[in-house]
Amino acid sequence: MIDVRESERYNGDFEPIDLIAAHIPGTINIPFKENLNENGYFLPVDQLRIKYEATFLDKEMSDVVVHCGSGITACHSILAICHAGFDFPNLYVGSWSEWSRN
């Protein structure tokens, strides 16, 4: 499972929306902003592919789940992943907002 929120939110240092600051156990943090260059455009396809290859090594994309705080920015990372040539991963729609309330 990939958490695409900023590192400060993932690490529990800052939480502007939800009641609890932290992350879902077992997730890895790949902030969605790392998909972008300094002008706010997606990185070139080859750079995105290299960036995600190590994460997806020996994994079926049907086993990969992407989430964020509320499900919105996770879609941005899913688009970047697909733009890089990978199959669609899953989206945890409820994301951290749902998980942290349960």
Q: Which amino acids are annotated catalytic?
A: 68
- Given pLDDT bands bounded at 50, 70 and 90, which one contains residue 102? confident
Q: Please calculate the CA angle 32-36-37 and round it to the nearest 5 degrees.
A: 150
Q: What is the mean pLDDT of residues 48-56?
A: 94
Instruction: Determine phi and psi for 16, rounding to 5 degrees.
Output: -80, -15
| pLDDT, position 58 | 86
Say what percent of the chain tops pLDDT 70: 100
Q: What is the pLDDT of residues 55-97, one digit of tens each?
A: 998 899 999 999 999 989 999 999 999 999 999 999 999 999 9
Q: pTM above 0.85?
A: yes
